[in-house]
Amino acid sequence: MDYQLLLAVIAGISVLLFLILRLKIQAFLALLITCIVVGVVAGMEPKTILDAVKNGMGGTLGFVATVVGLGALFGAILERSGGAQRLAESLLDKFGIEKSPWAVMITGFLVAIPVFFDVAFIILVPIVYALQKKTGKSLLLYAIPLLAGLAITHTFIPPTPGPIAVAEILGADLGYVIIFGFLAGLPAAIIAGPLLAKRLSQKMHIIAPENMVTKMEVPANAPSAGTILLIIAIPIFLIVCNTVLNSPLFDEGTLPEWLIYGADLLGHPFVALIIANIVAWYFLGIQKGFSKEQLLDISTKSLYPAGVIILLTGAGGAFKQILIDTGAGEMIATSLSGDFFPPVVFGFLVAAIVRILQGSATVAMITAAGITAPLLGLSDTSAPQLAVLVIAIASGATIFSHVNDSGFWLVKQYLGLTEKETFRSWTVMTTLIAVVGLLVSTVLWFFV
Protein backbone atom coordinates (compact mmCIF):
# COMPACT_ATOMS: atom_id res chain seq x y z
CA MET A 1 0.00 0.00 0.00
CA ASP A 2 1.27 3.51 -0.87
CA TYR A 3 1.09 5.32 2.47
CA GLN A 4 1.46 8.74 0.85
CA LEU A 5 -1.73 8.16 -1.15
CA LEU A 6 -3.50 6.85 1.94
CA LEU A 7 -2.43 9.98 3.81
CA ALA A 8 -3.72 12.10 0.90
CA VAL A 9 -7.17 10.49 1.10
CA ILE A 10 -7.37 10.80 4.90
CA ALA A 11 -6.18 14.43 4.75
CA GLY A 12 -8.70 15.23 2.01
CA ILE A 13 -11.71 13.79 3.82
CA SER A 14 -10.61 15.38 7.11
CA VAL A 15 -10.25 18.79 5.46
CA LEU A 16 -13.64 18.42 3.74
CA LEU A 17 -15.42 17.64 7.01
CA PHE A 18 -13.53 20.37 8.90
CA LEU A 19 -14.44 23.02 6.33
CA ILE A 20 -18.11 22.05 6.22
CA LEU A 21 -18.71 21.23 9.89
CA ARG A 22 -16.40 23.59 11.75
CA LEU A 23 -15.95 26.57 9.42
CA LYS A 24 -19.39 26.27 7.76
CA ILE A 25 -17.88 26.83 4.32
CA GLN A 26 -20.18 26.16 1.37
CA ALA A 27 -19.77 22.56 0.15
CA PHE A 28 -18.87 23.63 -3.42
CA LEU A 29 -15.85 25.62 -2.22
CA ALA A 30 -14.98 22.96 0.38
CA LEU A 31 -14.85 20.21 -2.26
CA LEU A 32 -12.58 22.27 -4.52
CA ILE A 33 -10.19 22.99 -1.62
CA THR A 34 -10.23 19.29 -0.78
CA CYS A 35 -9.23 18.42 -4.35
CA ILE A 36 -6.18 20.67 -4.09
CA VAL A 37 -5.23 19.26 -0.67
CA VAL A 38 -5.41 15.66 -1.95
CA GLY A 39 -3.31 16.55 -4.99
CA VAL A 40 -0.64 18.37 -2.97
CA VAL A 41 -0.32 15.64 -0.31
CA ALA A 42 -0.19 12.98 -3.04
CA GLY A 43 2.76 14.83 -4.66
CA MET A 44 1.08 15.98 -7.90
CA GLU A 45 2.41 18.94 -9.87
CA PRO A 46 0.30 22.14 -9.55
CA LYS A 47 -0.66 22.12 -13.24
CA THR A 48 -1.69 18.47 -13.03
CA ILE A 49 -3.87 19.17 -9.97
CA LEU A 50 -5.67 22.06 -11.65
CA ASP A 51 -6.10 20.14 -14.91
CA ALA A 52 -7.71 17.29 -12.97
CA VAL A 53 -10.12 19.75 -11.30
CA LYS A 54 -10.96 21.34 -14.65
CA ASN A 55 -11.44 18.01 -16.43
CA GLY A 56 -13.50 16.59 -13.57
CA MET A 57 -15.76 19.64 -13.46
CA GLY A 58 -16.18 19.79 -17.23
CA GLY A 59 -16.74 16.08 -17.74
CA THR A 60 -19.44 15.93 -15.09
CA LEU A 61 -21.27 19.18 -15.81
CA GLY A 62 -21.73 18.58 -19.53
CA PHE A 63 -24.51 16.12 -18.67
CA VAL A 64 -25.63 17.09 -15.17
CA ALA A 65 -26.08 20.82 -15.77
CA THR A 66 -28.41 20.17 -18.69
CA VAL A 67 -30.52 17.50 -17.00
CA VAL A 68 -30.82 19.28 -13.64
CA GLY A 69 -31.72 22.54 -15.38
CA LEU A 70 -34.40 20.89 -17.52
CA GLY A 71 -35.72 19.01 -14.50
CA ALA A 72 -36.02 22.22 -12.49
CA LEU A 73 -37.96 23.92 -15.29
CA PHE A 74 -40.28 20.92 -15.58
CA GLY A 75 -40.97 20.76 -11.85
CA ALA A 76 -41.65 24.49 -11.51
CA ILE A 77 -44.43 24.48 -14.10
CA LEU A 78 -46.04 21.40 -12.54
CA GLU A 79 -45.89 23.00 -9.10
CA ARG A 80 -47.36 26.38 -10.09
CA SER A 81 -50.18 24.87 -12.12
CA GLY A 82 -51.80 23.40 -8.99
CA GLY A 83 -51.36 19.92 -10.40
CA ALA A 84 -49.77 18.50 -7.24
CA GLN A 85 -52.75 19.54 -5.12
CA ARG A 86 -55.21 18.22 -7.69
CA LEU A 87 -53.40 14.87 -7.79
CA ALA A 88 -53.55 14.63 -3.99
CA GLU A 89 -57.23 15.54 -3.97
CA SER A 90 -58.02 12.91 -6.61
CA LEU A 91 -56.12 10.12 -4.84
CA LEU A 92 -57.78 10.91 -1.50
CA ASP A 93 -61.20 10.70 -3.15
CA LYS A 94 -60.35 7.29 -4.62
CA PHE A 95 -58.76 5.79 -1.49
CA GLY A 96 -61.11 7.23 1.11
CA ILE A 97 -60.33 8.33 4.67
CA GLU A 98 -59.45 4.86 5.97
CA LYS A 99 -56.72 4.34 3.37
CA SER A 100 -55.65 7.97 3.18
CA PRO A 101 -52.09 7.24 4.49
CA TRP A 102 -51.56 5.19 1.32
CA ALA A 103 -53.02 7.99 -0.80
CA VAL A 104 -50.66 10.63 0.62
CA MET A 105 -47.69 8.25 0.27
CA ILE A 106 -48.44 7.75 -3.43
CA THR A 107 -48.97 11.49 -3.85
CA GLY A 108 -45.56 12.24 -2.34
CA PHE A 109 -43.93 9.49 -4.38
CA LEU A 110 -45.27 10.92 -7.66
CA VAL A 111 -45.00 14.64 -6.95
CA ALA A 112 -41.34 14.46 -5.87
CA ILE A 113 -40.31 13.10 -9.28
CA PRO A 114 -40.42 16.59 -10.84
CA VAL A 115 -40.61 18.84 -7.74
CA PHE A 116 -37.86 19.43 -5.14
CA PHE A 117 -38.47 17.77 -1.74
CA ASP A 118 -38.88 20.87 0.42
CA VAL A 119 -41.16 22.63 -2.08
CA ALA A 120 -43.32 19.53 -2.52
CA PHE A 121 -43.62 19.09 1.25
CA ILE A 122 -44.67 22.69 1.85
CA ILE A 123 -47.36 22.64 -0.85
CA LEU A 124 -48.73 19.24 0.26
CA VAL A 125 -48.52 19.50 4.07
CA PRO A 126 -51.97 21.15 4.33
CA ILE A 127 -53.39 17.75 3.28
CA VAL A 128 -52.08 16.08 6.44
CA TYR A 129 -53.33 18.96 8.59
CA ALA A 130 -56.82 18.57 7.12
CA LEU A 131 -56.81 14.79 7.57
CA GLN A 132 -55.73 15.08 11.22
CA LYS A 133 -58.44 17.64 11.97
CA LYS A 134 -61.07 15.52 10.23
CA THR A 135 -60.21 12.18 11.89
CA GLY A 136 -58.75 13.28 15.22
CA LYS A 137 -55.95 10.73 14.80
CA SER A 138 -52.24 11.44 15.19
CA LEU A 139 -50.75 13.76 12.60
CA LEU A 140 -47.94 11.24 12.12
CA LEU A 141 -50.38 8.73 10.61
CA TYR A 142 -50.56 10.97 7.53
CA ALA A 143 -47.33 12.99 7.68
CA ILE A 144 -44.91 10.04 7.77
CA PRO A 145 -46.31 8.38 4.59
CA LEU A 146 -46.16 11.72 2.78
CA LEU A 147 -42.57 12.32 3.89
CA ALA A 148 -41.56 8.76 2.99
CA GLY A 149 -42.95 9.10 -0.53
CA LEU A 150 -41.25 12.46 -1.02
CA ALA A 151 -37.88 11.41 0.44
CA ILE A 152 -37.63 8.14 -1.49
CA THR A 153 -38.43 9.57 -4.89
CA HIS A 154 -36.24 12.61 -4.29
CA THR A 155 -33.31 10.33 -3.48
CA PHE A 156 -33.83 7.32 -5.76
CA ILE A 157 -35.56 8.31 -9.00
CA PRO A 158 -34.31 10.68 -11.75
CA PRO A 159 -34.77 13.41 -12.86
CA THR A 160 -34.20 14.48 -9.25
CA PRO A 161 -30.66 15.91 -8.90
CA GLY A 162 -29.12 13.42 -6.44
CA PRO A 163 -29.37 10.22 -8.48
CA ILE A 164 -28.53 12.13 -11.67
CA ALA A 165 -25.28 13.41 -10.13
CA VAL A 166 -24.27 9.98 -8.81
CA ALA A 167 -25.22 8.26 -12.08
CA GLU A 168 -23.04 10.64 -14.06
CA ILE A 169 -20.03 10.26 -11.74
CA LEU A 170 -20.33 6.46 -11.87
CA GLY A 171 -21.28 6.30 -15.57
CA ALA A 172 -24.63 4.61 -14.89
CA ASP A 173 -27.53 4.44 -17.35
CA LEU A 174 -30.45 6.59 -16.15
CA GLY A 175 -33.01 4.13 -17.50
CA TYR A 176 -31.69 1.38 -15.25
CA VAL A 177 -31.47 3.84 -12.34
CA ILE A 178 -35.18 4.63 -12.79
CA ILE A 179 -36.13 0.94 -12.95
CA PHE A 180 -34.12 -0.04 -9.87
CA GLY A 181 -35.13 3.16 -8.10
CA PHE A 182 -38.75 2.03 -8.34
CA LEU A 183 -37.87 -1.54 -7.31
CA ALA A 184 -36.07 -0.34 -4.17
CA GLY A 185 -38.29 2.67 -3.55
CA LEU A 186 -41.68 0.97 -3.47
CA PRO A 187 -40.97 -1.47 -0.60
CA ALA A 188 -39.09 1.29 1.24
CA ALA A 189 -42.08 3.63 0.85
CA ILE A 190 -44.51 1.01 2.14
CA ILE A 191 -42.40 -0.03 5.15
CA ALA A 192 -41.17 3.46 6.12
CA GLY A 193 -44.52 5.04 5.17
CA PRO A 194 -47.94 3.63 6.12
CA LEU A 195 -46.60 0.67 8.14
CA LEU A 196 -44.23 2.77 10.25
CA ALA A 197 -46.82 5.56 10.53
CA LYS A 198 -49.41 3.20 12.00
CA ARG A 199 -46.97 2.11 14.70
CA LEU A 200 -45.75 5.63 15.48
CA SER A 201 -49.28 7.06 15.65
CA GLN A 202 -50.15 4.54 18.35
CA LYS A 203 -47.24 5.76 20.50
CA MET A 204 -47.32 9.50 19.77
CA HIS A 205 -50.54 11.45 19.40
CA ILE A 206 -49.59 14.63 17.57
CA ILE A 207 -52.18 17.24 16.58
CA ALA A 208 -51.78 19.72 13.75
CA PRO A 209 -50.13 22.93 15.06
CA GLU A 210 -52.73 25.72 15.10
CA ASN A 211 -50.32 28.37 13.85
CA MET A 212 -49.37 26.22 10.83
CA VAL A 213 -52.81 25.01 9.72
CA THR A 214 -53.72 26.30 6.29
CA LYS A 215 -56.21 25.12 3.74
CA MET A 216 -54.93 23.35 0.64
CA GLU A 217 -55.76 25.75 -2.18
CA VAL A 218 -56.54 24.02 -5.46
CA PRO A 219 -56.86 26.54 -8.31
CA ALA A 220 -60.21 26.35 -10.07
CA ASN A 221 -58.53 25.71 -13.41
CA ALA A 222 -55.92 23.24 -12.06
CA PRO A 223 -55.17 20.39 -14.47
CA SER A 224 -56.71 16.97 -13.87
CA ALA A 225 -54.83 14.25 -12.00
CA GLY A 226 -54.70 12.18 -15.20
CA THR A 227 -53.03 15.02 -17.09
CA ILE A 228 -50.39 15.42 -14.37
CA LEU A 229 -49.65 11.68 -14.31
CA LEU A 230 -49.29 11.53 -18.09
CA ILE A 231 -46.92 14.51 -18.18
CA ILE A 232 -44.77 13.12 -15.33
CA ALA A 233 -44.68 9.76 -17.15
CA ILE A 234 -43.39 11.21 -20.45
CA PRO A 235 -39.65 11.53 -19.63
CA ILE A 236 -39.62 8.36 -17.51
CA PHE A 237 -41.28 6.32 -20.27
CA LEU A 238 -38.96 7.63 -23.01
CA ILE A 239 -35.75 7.08 -20.98
CA VAL A 240 -36.74 3.57 -19.88
CA CYS A 241 -37.79 2.61 -23.43
CA ASN A 242 -34.38 3.67 -24.72
CA THR A 243 -32.65 1.57 -22.05
CA VAL A 244 -34.79 -1.51 -22.72
CA LEU A 245 -34.49 -1.35 -26.52
CA ASN A 246 -30.69 -1.02 -26.27
CA SER A 247 -30.32 -3.75 -23.63
CA PRO A 248 -29.13 -7.34 -24.13
CA LEU A 249 -32.81 -8.37 -24.26
CA PHE A 250 -32.65 -7.65 -27.98
CA ASP A 251 -29.89 -9.03 -30.17
CA GLU A 252 -28.18 -6.60 -32.54
CA GLY A 253 -30.07 -6.34 -35.81
CA THR A 254 -33.37 -7.77 -34.50
CA LEU A 255 -35.03 -4.35 -34.20
CA PRO A 256 -35.55 -1.95 -37.13
CA GLU A 257 -32.91 0.78 -37.44
CA TRP A 258 -35.52 3.55 -37.38
CA LEU A 259 -36.78 2.30 -34.01
CA ILE A 260 -33.30 2.25 -32.46
CA TYR A 261 -32.58 5.68 -33.95
CA GLY A 262 -35.81 7.08 -32.50
CA ALA A 263 -35.17 5.50 -29.10
CA ASP A 264 -31.61 6.84 -28.98
CA LEU A 265 -32.80 10.35 -29.82
CA LEU A 266 -36.11 10.64 -27.95
CA GLY A 267 -35.02 8.48 -25.02
CA HIS A 268 -31.93 10.49 -24.20
CA PRO A 269 -32.57 12.43 -20.96
CA PHE A 270 -31.93 15.75 -22.74
CA VAL A 271 -34.60 15.21 -25.39
CA ALA A 272 -37.03 13.39 -23.07
CA LEU A 273 -37.01 16.33 -20.64
CA ILE A 274 -37.22 18.91 -23.45
CA ILE A 275 -40.36 17.15 -24.73
CA ALA A 276 -41.82 17.01 -21.21
CA ASN A 277 -41.12 20.73 -20.74
CA ILE A 278 -42.79 21.67 -24.01
CA VAL A 279 -45.87 19.57 -23.19
CA ALA A 280 -46.05 21.01 -19.65
CA TRP A 281 -45.47 24.54 -20.94
CA TYR A 282 -48.46 24.27 -23.28
CA PHE A 283 -50.99 22.14 -21.36
CA LEU A 284 -50.22 23.42 -17.83
CA GLY A 285 -49.22 26.93 -18.80
CA ILE A 286 -50.71 28.42 -21.96
CA GLN A 287 -53.96 26.41 -21.81
CA LYS A 288 -54.45 27.31 -18.15
CA GLY A 289 -54.22 31.05 -18.76
CA PHE A 290 -50.61 31.77 -17.81
CA SER A 291 -49.09 34.55 -19.88
CA LYS A 292 -45.77 34.04 -21.62
CA GLU A 293 -44.25 36.58 -19.24
CA GLN A 294 -45.50 34.63 -16.20
CA LEU A 295 -44.10 31.38 -17.57
CA LEU A 296 -40.77 33.05 -18.24
CA ASP A 297 -40.67 34.34 -14.65
CA ILE A 298 -41.58 30.89 -13.23
CA SER A 299 -38.91 29.13 -15.29
CA THR A 300 -36.21 31.72 -14.54
CA LYS A 301 -36.75 31.51 -10.77
CA SER A 302 -36.71 27.70 -10.92
CA LEU A 303 -33.08 27.74 -12.07
CA TYR A 304 -31.74 29.50 -8.96
CA PRO A 305 -31.72 26.43 -6.66
CA ALA A 306 -30.63 24.28 -9.60
CA GLY A 307 -27.46 26.37 -9.92
CA VAL A 308 -26.25 25.37 -6.44
CA ILE A 309 -26.78 21.68 -7.15
CA ILE A 310 -25.07 21.92 -10.53
CA LEU A 311 -21.92 23.54 -9.11
CA LEU A 312 -21.82 21.13 -6.18
CA THR A 313 -22.06 18.17 -8.55
CA GLY A 314 -19.26 19.57 -10.69
CA ALA A 315 -17.03 19.84 -7.63
CA GLY A 316 -17.88 16.21 -6.86
CA GLY A 317 -16.73 15.27 -10.34
CA ALA A 318 -13.47 17.11 -9.73
CA PHE A 319 -12.97 15.20 -6.47
CA LYS A 320 -13.48 11.90 -8.31
CA GLN A 321 -10.95 12.93 -10.98
CA ILE A 322 -8.32 13.87 -8.39
CA LEU A 323 -8.68 10.45 -6.75
CA ILE A 324 -8.27 8.75 -10.12
CA ASP A 325 -5.34 10.89 -11.32
CA THR A 326 -3.37 10.56 -8.08
CA GLY A 327 -3.86 6.81 -8.06
CA ALA A 328 -5.50 7.05 -4.63
CA GLY A 329 -8.74 5.71 -6.01
CA GLU A 330 -7.02 2.64 -7.46
CA MET A 331 -5.26 2.07 -4.14
CA ILE A 332 -8.60 2.14 -2.29
CA ALA A 333 -10.12 -0.17 -4.87
CA THR A 334 -7.25 -2.67 -4.66
CA SER A 335 -7.31 -2.78 -0.87
CA LEU A 336 -11.07 -3.29 -0.78
CA SER A 337 -11.42 -5.67 -3.72
CA GLY A 338 -12.88 -9.05 -2.99
CA ASP A 339 -16.23 -10.77 -2.86
CA PHE A 340 -16.56 -10.19 0.88
CA PHE A 341 -16.84 -6.43 0.41
CA PRO A 342 -18.77 -5.56 -2.77
CA PRO A 343 -18.85 -1.96 -4.03
CA VAL A 344 -22.59 -1.78 -3.26
CA VAL A 345 -21.88 -2.08 0.49
CA PHE A 346 -18.79 0.15 0.36
CA GLY A 347 -20.70 2.93 -1.42
CA PHE A 348 -23.53 2.73 1.11
CA LEU A 349 -21.17 2.92 4.09
CA VAL A 350 -19.19 5.89 2.76
CA ALA A 351 -22.39 7.80 1.97
CA ALA A 352 -23.84 6.95 5.38
CA ILE A 353 -20.75 8.12 7.27
CA VAL A 354 -20.56 11.43 5.39
CA ARG A 355 -24.32 11.95 5.74
CA ILE A 356 -24.29 11.43 9.52
CA LEU A 357 -21.24 13.65 9.99
CA GLN A 358 -22.24 16.66 7.88
CA GLY A 359 -25.99 16.34 7.22
CA SER A 360 -26.42 17.04 3.52
CA ALA A 361 -27.66 14.04 1.53
CA THR A 362 -26.44 15.63 -1.71
CA VAL A 363 -22.88 16.14 -0.41
CA ALA A 364 -22.90 12.58 0.97
CA MET A 365 -24.00 11.12 -2.37
CA ILE A 366 -21.47 13.07 -4.41
CA THR A 367 -18.58 12.38 -2.03
CA ALA A 368 -19.40 8.66 -1.88
CA ALA A 369 -19.71 8.45 -5.66
CA GLY A 370 -16.31 10.06 -6.10
CA ILE A 371 -14.65 7.64 -3.67
CA THR A 372 -16.50 4.58 -5.01
CA ALA A 373 -16.00 5.24 -8.74
CA PRO A 374 -12.38 3.95 -8.85
CA LEU A 375 -13.50 0.58 -7.46
CA LEU A 376 -15.40 -0.05 -10.68
CA GLY A 377 -12.24 -0.17 -12.79
CA LEU A 378 -11.05 -3.37 -11.12
CA SER A 379 -14.20 -5.40 -11.60
CA ASP A 380 -16.55 -6.44 -14.36
CA THR A 381 -19.41 -4.15 -13.43
CA SER A 382 -22.45 -4.45 -15.71
CA ALA A 383 -24.70 -1.53 -16.64
CA PRO A 384 -27.49 -2.76 -14.33
CA GLN A 385 -25.01 -3.14 -11.45
CA LEU A 386 -23.86 0.47 -11.90
CA ALA A 387 -27.47 1.57 -11.52
CA VAL A 388 -27.88 -0.58 -8.41
CA LEU A 389 -24.77 1.06 -6.97
CA VAL A 390 -26.41 4.47 -7.49
CA ILE A 391 -29.38 3.31 -5.40
CA ALA A 392 -27.10 1.91 -2.68
CA ILE A 393 -25.22 5.22 -2.39
CA ALA A 394 -28.52 7.11 -2.36
CA SER A 395 -29.72 4.82 0.45
CA GLY A 396 -26.62 5.54 2.53
CA ALA A 397 -27.08 9.27 2.00
CA THR A 398 -30.63 9.05 3.39
CA ILE A 399 -29.77 7.46 6.73
CA PHE A 400 -30.24 9.03 10.18
CA SER A 401 -31.26 12.60 9.39
CA HIS A 402 -30.63 14.62 12.55
CA VAL A 403 -29.85 18.12 13.80
CA ASN A 404 -27.22 18.93 11.13
CA ASP A 405 -29.75 18.34 8.33
CA SER A 406 -32.09 21.15 7.25
CA GLY A 407 -34.80 18.56 6.53
CA PHE A 408 -34.89 17.66 10.24
CA TRP A 409 -35.81 21.22 11.20
CA LEU A 410 -38.25 21.65 8.30
CA VAL A 411 -40.21 18.59 9.44
CA LYS A 412 -40.03 19.61 13.12
CA GLN A 413 -41.39 23.08 12.39
CA TYR A 414 -44.22 22.12 10.06
CA LEU A 415 -45.42 19.18 12.17
CA GLY A 416 -45.06 21.01 15.49
CA LEU A 417 -42.79 18.35 17.01
CA THR A 418 -40.18 18.53 19.73
CA GLU A 419 -36.62 17.51 18.91
CA LYS A 420 -37.15 14.18 20.67
CA GLU A 421 -40.37 13.51 18.70
CA THR A 422 -38.61 14.40 15.46
CA PHE A 423 -35.87 11.87 16.24
CA ARG A 424 -38.45 9.20 17.06
CA SER A 425 -40.38 9.78 13.82
CA TRP A 426 -38.50 11.50 10.99
CA THR A 427 -35.03 10.16 11.92
CA VAL A 428 -36.35 6.62 12.33
CA MET A 429 -38.14 6.92 8.97
CA THR A 430 -35.00 8.03 7.08
CA THR A 431 -32.97 5.24 8.67
CA LEU A 432 -35.59 2.65 7.74
CA ILE A 433 -35.56 3.89 4.12
CA ALA A 434 -31.77 3.52 4.06
CA VAL A 435 -31.80 -0.01 5.46
CA VAL A 436 -34.50 -1.23 3.07
CA GLY A 437 -32.68 0.44 0.16
CA LEU A 438 -29.43 -1.31 1.09
CA LEU A 439 -31.11 -4.72 1.43
CA VAL A 440 -32.84 -4.44 -1.95
CA SER A 441 -29.67 -3.08 -3.60
CA THR A 442 -27.54 -5.90 -2.23
CA VAL A 443 -29.95 -8.54 -3.50
CA LEU A 444 -30.16 -6.87 -6.92
CA TRP A 445 -26.34 -6.55 -7.13
CA PHE A 446 -25.92 -10.32 -7.17
CA PHE A 447 -28.83 -11.03 -9.53
CA VAL A 448 -28.53 -8.43 -12.31
Q: DSSP assignment of 85-105, as one string?
A: HHHHHHHHHHHTTTTHHHHHH
Non-local (6+) Cβ contacts of 236 within 8 A are: 113, 178
Q: DSSP assignment of 3-23, as one string?
A: HHHHHHHHHHHHHHHIIIIIS
Non-local (6+) Cβ contacts of 134 within 8 A are: 97
Please state whether the peptide bond connecting residue 159 to the residue before it is cis, i.e. omega within 30 degrees of 0: yes
Q: CA 394 to CA 13: how far, in whole Å?
A: 19
- Which residue, 435, 447, 428, is CA-closest to 388? 447
User: 217 in helix, strand or coil?
Assistant: coil
Tell me the pLDDT of the chain (448 aa) as tens digits.
567 888 888 898 889 888 887 888 888 899 899 999 999 999 999 999 999 999 988 888 888 889 889 988 998 888 888 888 899 989 999 999 999 999 999 999 999 998 889 889 988 999 999 899 989 999 999 999 999 999 999 999 988 888 999 999 999 999 999 999 999 999 999 999 999 999 999 999 999 887 665 566 677 788 999 999 999 999 999 999 999 998 887 877 788 999 999 999 999 999 999 999 999 999 999 999 899 899 999 999 888 878 888 888 888 888 888 888 888 766 766 665 555 568 899 899 989 988 988 788 888 898 889 888 877 765 678 899 999 999 999 999 999 998 888 889 899 989 999 999 999 999 999 999 999 999 999 999 989 8
In 10 A of CB 406, how many CB atoms?
11
Exposure string (b/e) for 212-225, b if CB count within 10 Å is 16 or more? Answer: eeeebeeeeebbeb
Please state whether the peptide bond connecting residue 101 to the residue before it is cis, i.e. omega within 30 degrees of 0: no
pTM flag (> 0.85) = yes
- Which residue, 22, 18, 19, 15, is CA-closest to 38? 15
